[in-house]
Amino acid sequence: MRILVINPGSTTTKIAVYENENRLFVKTFYHSPDDLSSFSTILSQYDYRRDLIIDELKKEDLFYGFAAIVGRGGLLKPISSGVYEVNELMKSDLRNALMQHACNLGGLLAEEISLLIPGCKAYIADPVVVDELEDVARISGSPLLPRLSVFHALNHKAIAHKYARSINKKYEELNLVVAHLGGGISVAAHRQGKVIDVNNALDGSGSFSPERAGTLPARQLVELCFSGKYTEDEIVKMIRGKGGLVAYLGTTDVQVVIKRIEEGDKKAELILKAMIYNIAKEIGAMCAALCGKVDSIVLTGGIAYSSYCVNKLNEYISFLAPINIFPGEDEMEALAFNALRALKREQTCEEYI
């Protein structure tokens, strides 16, 4: 079964072609600020990205025979984990999402391109809005501000399944704390196949990250908002996009920060230590959410490649549970394998309602 994977990001569009489990082709289109400057919204980039994808597939003589096209899921209403066929309601919700992000284009692109190929299905899988929180995890302290589940669900679920397979267990048999360490950081408590608690990795809770501010002092944030010095958009960018490491050190690249530390930069050392310290506290909190019954702490994402960061983090958390490391993320493979399971009916294809 041939599957096309489409993964739109803020500065890239990634595509891959799979034949069953085998990847035949992969391509990343990089979008510079100049490339995107003429588009006022994410949605207005749609035709530009679609044409890049179709033209590339035709150039490589790959634009045929797809059984399914699977796109990265967008900022939809909260849904359970799984594979969803794109329908009219989903398309409407993606076009009118409350938050703009390039991932909203994934399902739309998959559906339109699928219509050009006879018998082709269009799916999304495990979008960032996967919500399996226990009720107690939703209570924030203000009934006006419930806690929301927005995290790297696709990679969390894929890596949790991969770890389970590595020890000949089922994901549903395990209690795991999974920490995705990338541009955004999400730490979740996985209890027997469900993510019962996780920080909102997009809009402000948990550890700060290379580009996100994480949890901030509430009263000081209120004062900042009403100071008259910043617009709402500027405040949002301080929280998401220009927060965390980049706010303190001017870079989102952890390896650049480590190089500065090696050259004697004490501020860089303090800020990176603080980020690792906050990640450790989140992991400890999720161990508590599982009542200390944790089979493994699983570290993933790009920062998990860094022995400097992993070793420093281990100093804080090694007493909690065994630690296993699956560095990086393969969202393309995770999307493809989800679609393949749906096509083979090894996994129920859910309806978005």
Could you give all domains of the chain from N- to C-terminal order, each with its CATH number? 2-127+331-350 (3.30.420.40), 153-327 (3.30.420.40)
Q: For residue 167, what are its two tokens?
A: 């020890």
Residues 6+ apart with CB under 8 A from 35: none
Contact in structure between 208 and 244 (CB atoms under 8 Å)? yes
Report the distance separating Cα 157 and Cα 10, nearest Å.
22
The pLDDT of residue 258: 98
Each of the 353 residues of the chain gets a pLDDT tens digit; together they read: 999 999 998 778 999 999 999 999 999 998 887 888 899 899 999 999 999 999 999 999 999 999 999 999 899 999 999 999 999 999 999 999 978 888 999 999 999 999 999 999 999 999 989 999 999 999 999 999 999 999 999 999 999 999 999 999 999 999 999 999 998 999 999 999 999 999 999 888 999 999 999 999 999 999 999 999 999 999 999 998 899 999 999 999 999 999 999 999 999 999 999 999 999 999 999 999 999 999 999 999 999 999 999 999 999 999 999 999 999 988 899 999 999 999 999 889 999 99
Residues linked to residue 180 through DSSP beta bridges, in sequence order = 186, 300
The pLDDT of residue 330: 83
Report the distance separating Cα 9 and Cα 65, nearest Å.
26
Report the distance separating Cα 13 and Cα 225, nearest Å.
34
Contact in structure between 124 and 349 (CB atoms under 8 Å)? no
Report the distance separating Cα 236 and Cα 225, nearest Å.
10
3-state SS, residue 12: strand
- H helix runs in the chain, sequence order: 33-36, 46-59, 88-95, 105-114, 135-138, 153-166, 218-225, 232-239, 245-249, 254-262, 266-289, 307-317, 331-343
Burial label, 133 (beta-carbon count in 10 A; 0-12, 13-18, 19+): buried
